[in-house]
Structure 1
Amino acid sequence: MKRRDFIHLSGMGLGALMTPGMLAMGNPVTADRLLEPGMDPAAKKVLADIALNAAKAKGATYTDVRIGRYLNQFVITREKNVQNITNAESFGVGIRVIAEGTWGFSATSDVTPDGIKACAETAVAIAKANSKLQKEPVELAPVVGAGEVVWQTPIEKNAFEVPVKDKIDLLLNANDAAIQNGAAFVNSALFMVNEQKYFASTDGSYIDQDVHRIWPTFTVTAINQSEGNFRSRQALSAPMGMGFEYMDGLQSEKIAGPAGLIGYRNSYDIVEDATAAAKQAVEKLSAKSVEPGKYDLVLDPDHLGLTIHESVGHPLELDRVLGYEANYAGTSFATLDKWKSGDFKYGSDKVNIFADKIQPHSLGNVAYDDEGVKTKEWDLIKDGVLVNYQAIRDQAAIIGEEESQGCCYADSWESVQFQRMANISLRPGTEKLSAIDMIKDVEKGVYIVGRGSYSIDQQRYNFQFGGQLFYEIKNGEIAGMLEDVAYQSNTQEFWNSCSQICDKDDYKLFGSFFDGKGQPSQVSAVSHGSSTTRFDGVNVINTGRKI
């Protein structure tokens, strides 16, 4: 990746893209190549059986094989210019085994009978070498073989079938709309991913899955030249597990919010959002700087999703709880003793948070995870009490689970699969309540929309979050835009201050397209659903950026 691309992406608030997993997208190909069919499932089965038999012959007691074709297309623009178009393909096989009670893994791009046989034998040799250091044998939760299964993300329009010119025109139209409405600068991008994944194991599974994801985004910047300051606003889109139908703004399912804001669900109008973003960036230039103090916060799902991700999703990953991520990403305050007590109040009675890999249109939506486990939904926090974690096959027994929770994932055929965050979402309230109605009961508060900068400690406890848009609430009404807002709290205090949650009609998904974890680092895509939610008496600070 060239230096100018790094600067450009960082300027869009997309520094998370600059990860090893992102840089290893695959080999450059033409856009037409992305439309060519991959290997037939019957041919994959033949190759998978070669790996399963070769590993067994060398002493493996368990083997799984992942044959993966990963396709990416990224279109990046700035103002009236196209800055970059990337088409990439990666194809290969990863083989994981247990031999002498220990894991071994090997991968190859030589997807031939001889290449796969050699790869399987290498995986077994690695497992046997590792076994000299293994203290206890790997214990896998049982799984029933799925047989032969085919699954695809339910899309209406394959994003790769849409001409690149049409995508460029759409982004440039959004850029032009922003410029026409007061923006001095605008960057926009469209990211499209297709994972064609085949999984086979000695449990009797042969699973072929075709996974699609899409993410449109932008950043607009307005400048006050006389004062020499500037303000920006990023897109309020969410990355989704959908096809190009997500970009059909004319069919957009919109949610009316306070302050005249529009939220999008299951479809997105990038031109409309860019128009609003430019006007709001201009308005931010003259917005009042917040007075520090205690406020009731009304948090839009486009904002709250990131807080859920950092303060619930990560601390309830079991490998992190057990210390396996300590060297790279830290540990967790939500230790096993808190779960075992059965009464640890993670949040108020209003807080019900669940994990799943099955929400329609979510980034994590698949039929089976990368261990061949059928995906499902399960509770993490019930009526405010911590009740479970996220665990995979070799972790399930640690927390008394009889089966994996289906949240194992690898970002490539050449990456070993391990526990990754499922979709983590806050259940909507059961009583009819809109965001506009919620604000009517707030005397002194701040309404926050969109993700901004944040900081959280290595145990995912003490944190600070910003946002994109901030509005002062006085006596039940929006009193104008604010700037320089961030709130500080700790995870338990924050979620225990939750007092109201809007109903399902306000529910929508937020998402992270490139969530990093592991050594070597991998990225995954995950969604977080919620409705607009109120938190009482939260400490708000002035970030001091006002010039």
Structure 2
Amino acid sequence: MIDFDRISEVALNQTKSLGATYADLRVVHTRDESIRMKNGIPELIDRSESLGFGIRVIVRGCWGFASSCDLNPENVNRVSQLAVKIALASSKVKKNDLVLSPVEKIVDTYQTPIQIDPFKISLKEKLTYLLSLYDLTKKISGLRSFESFMDFREQKWYFASSGGSKIEQRIIQSGAGISALAMRSHREMGRRSYPNSSGEYQTRGYELIEMLKLEENSERVAEQAKALMDARTCPSGIKTIVLDGAQVSLQVHESIGHPLELDRVFGAEKNFSGTSFATVDRLGKLKYASDMVNVVTDPTYPSGLGTFGYDDEGVKAGKSYLIQNGVLVGYLTSRETASMIGKESNASMRAEDWGDVPIIRMTNTNLLPGKHTLTDLISEVDDGIYMETVSSWSIDDNRESFKMGTEIGWEIKNGKLGEMIKNPTYSGNTTEFWNSCDGICNEKHWKVWGTPNCGKGQPAQNMRVGQGASPCRFRKVKVGE
């Protein structure tokens, strides 16, 4: 049993006595379970746990951070001193004192609402289910492999600050997916995945596995992988494209979410994954997208992978606009960066684990639904391509020029889906592309897609985030090579 009150008392008292004008403590206990199966054979069964704490301080206007896995009060005292020493060393080369935007004192608890605790489901039951998915595809000739997986995470998070906040959270995340590979040679191959190329992740319990209905999609995925070997290649030219929700979610992630991280805008990511074209002088002015495009950051949305009660600065989760009627109106912020533009933080500061310093991360970056049906989007296209399921992505260091690819596509002729297309790709400029959006599907087609592997920072951190999206249509887009 963690004596959180005792640990926080030691850390906050020690840092204050050494001159810290602000301090916070995070204690994080993470439990993971991962299962991977290939062709009916378990390839990975991994269970792990991690427990430790991190301390942030502000001394002489600069940050200091230190962490440890030893929660003994004497060691907490030592690590507190180390955090202060690091801040003092940083203060010798500072340009300006940092300022934090205000935050209310909070004493609260938050827990992911779940129906079935995934850690109470036996390993045998999980393996039996994954094996049954492979059994559904064994009769399909020409398959090189069929893979399936499940991932589960429980993270217990304790936070205390010198401002008087004390918060506890228990976050449960679950994920699963399947993929099939058909192959004659390195030139003749096809891969299909469901629900996406990285599966699907949400803040839910084991009920997510039941909701995904992998067993109802296994044969379809395998048959499509086989069919892709003989599909035509993606044509080159300028066409209208319709993207499925999964691909739109990636487009939101790479060309809206990352560019609007305010630390990136200010140059903190300059030597790793680039900066951003969406500079603060363009706030409220930049026509980022067409009028129908509205994007919010919303860590409160039920079951989103980026859903929580409070971020790692103790800021309460809430929804705020990033793009409204196509215009840039906001950023993802921390308390420090928000103060630099005269705003309050929108709860975007998170660390991967206890040993990592919090940085600005996406939560659920949601493109709000429109009014169309998928049939509407396709029926109004004379010559185009419908593209489905994330496959590849590349974007420049300023988050402007990009090239994306999907696993599969179908030509659109005279408002109807036609011939299958393999390896469809499209490219463009971020603002030109989003301004060409003239159709967004409605709530029936909308969901928050989970991204379990968003990388950022040095040292690198992995974060789990979500993007709400439904299928969208874009005009005059370059496709193919």
Which of residues 79, 95, 100 in structure 2 aligns to 1:140? Answer: 100
Judge conservation of contact 1:284–1:481 (CA < 8 Å) in 2: yes
Q: What does 1:344-355 align with in structure 2 at a 5 Å threshold?
A: 344-355=286-297
1:379-398, aligned counterparts within 5 Å? 379-398=321-340
Q: Quote how far apart the aligned CAs of 1:138 are.
A: 1.4
Match of 1:420 in 2: 361
Asked whether the 8 Å contact 1:446–1:473 carries over to 2, the reply is yes
Correspondence 1:112 to 2:53: no
Equivalent pairs, count = 477
Asked if the contact 2:64–2:85 (Cα under 8 Å) also holds between the matched residues in 1, the reply is: yes
Counterpart position of 2:205: 243
Q: Which moved more, 1:455-464 or 1:180-189?
A: 180-189
What pairs with 1:49-88 in structure 2 (closer than 5 Å)?
49-88=9-48
Aligned counterpart in structure 2 of residue 168 of structure 1, from 114, 127, 135: 127
| Residue identity in the other structure for 1:436 | T
> Residues 408 and 424 of structure 2 are in contact (CA less than 8 Å); yes or no, is this contact kept in structure 1?
no
Return the letter of the residue paired with 2:292: K
Match of 1:231 in 2: 190
Contact 1:302–1:509, Cα closer than 8 Å, also in 2: no
- 2:318 paired with 1:376: yes
Partner Cα separation in structure 2 for residue 178 and residue 336 of structure 1: 52
5 Å-filtered alignment, 1:78-477, equals: 78-147=38-107, 149-182=108-141, 183-224=143-184, 229-236=188-195, 237-248=199-210, 267-339=211-283, 342-401=284-343, 403-429=344-370, 431=371, 433-477=372-416
Q: Helix, strand or coil for the counterpart of 2:380?
A: coil
**Residues 188-243 of structure 1, C-alpha deviation per residue, up to 9 Å, x if partnerless?**
22121111110000111111100111121232111347x97221112224211111
Find the residue that maps to 1:45 and give its secondary structure.
Answer: helix
Per-residue deviation at 1:109? 1.1
Separation in 2 of the partners of 1:501 and 1:527?
Answer: 18
Contact kept in structure 2, 1:238 and 1:509, CA below 8 Å: no
Displacement of 1:337 after TM fit?
2.1
Deviations 1:78-129 (A, max 9, x none): 1021111111111011111111111111111111211111111211122112
Q: Deviations over 1:422-452 (max 9, x none)?
A: 21111111x3x31123211111111111101
**What SS is found at the alignment partner of 1:144?**
coil
Which sections of structure 1, spanning at least 5 residues, go unmatched? 1-38, 249-266, 543-547
Runs of 4+ in 1 over 6 A off after TM superposition: none
After superposition, the C-alpha distances for 1:450-500 in whole angstroms (9 at most, x for unaligned) are: 101111111111111111220111111111211231001110110000001
Residues 178, 220 of structure 1: 8 Å contact kept: no
Distance 1:229 1:50 in 2: 63
**Structure 2 gap ranges (5+):** none
In the alignment, is the contact (CA less than 8 A) between 1:194 and 1:212 conserved in 2? Answer: yes
SS of match in other structure, 1:204: coil
- Whether 1:507 and 2:455 are equivalent positions in the alignment is no
Q: Secondary structure at the match of 2:335?
A: coil
| Aligned residue type for 1:423 | N
In the TM superposition, residue 67 of structure 1 has moved relative to its aligned partner by 0.7
Offset from partner CA, 1:164-203 (integer Å, 9 cap, x none): 1111122222222233334331222212111111000011
Distance (Å, rounded) in 1 between the aligned partners of 2:286 and 2:10: 49
Give TM-score, length-normalised by structure 1. 0.85
Give the match's secondary structure for 1:52: helix
Would you say the 8 A contact 1:299–1:449 is kept in 2? Answer: yes
Q: Which residue of 2 aligns with 1:263?
A: none
Which 10-residue stretch deviates more, 277-286 or 173-182? 173-182
SS at match of 2:163: coil
TM-score, scaled relative to structure 2 = 0.96
d(CA) in 2 for partners of 1:373, 1:107: 21
Cα displacement (A) at 1:278: 0.2
Indicate the residue corresponding to 1:534 in structure 2.
473
Contact kept in structure 2, 1:178 and 1:277, CA below 8 Å: no
Residues of 2 paired with 1:166 and 1:303: CA distance?
Answer: 32
Q: Give, in whole Å, the separation in 2 of the partners of 1:180 and 1:54.
A: 66
Amino acid at match of 1:324: A
- Quote the RMSD (CA, aligned, Å): 1.4
Choose 161-170 or 288-297, whichever is displaced more. Answer: 288-297
From 33, 45, 48, give the equivalent of 2:8. 48
Helix, strand or coil at the partner of 1:174: helix
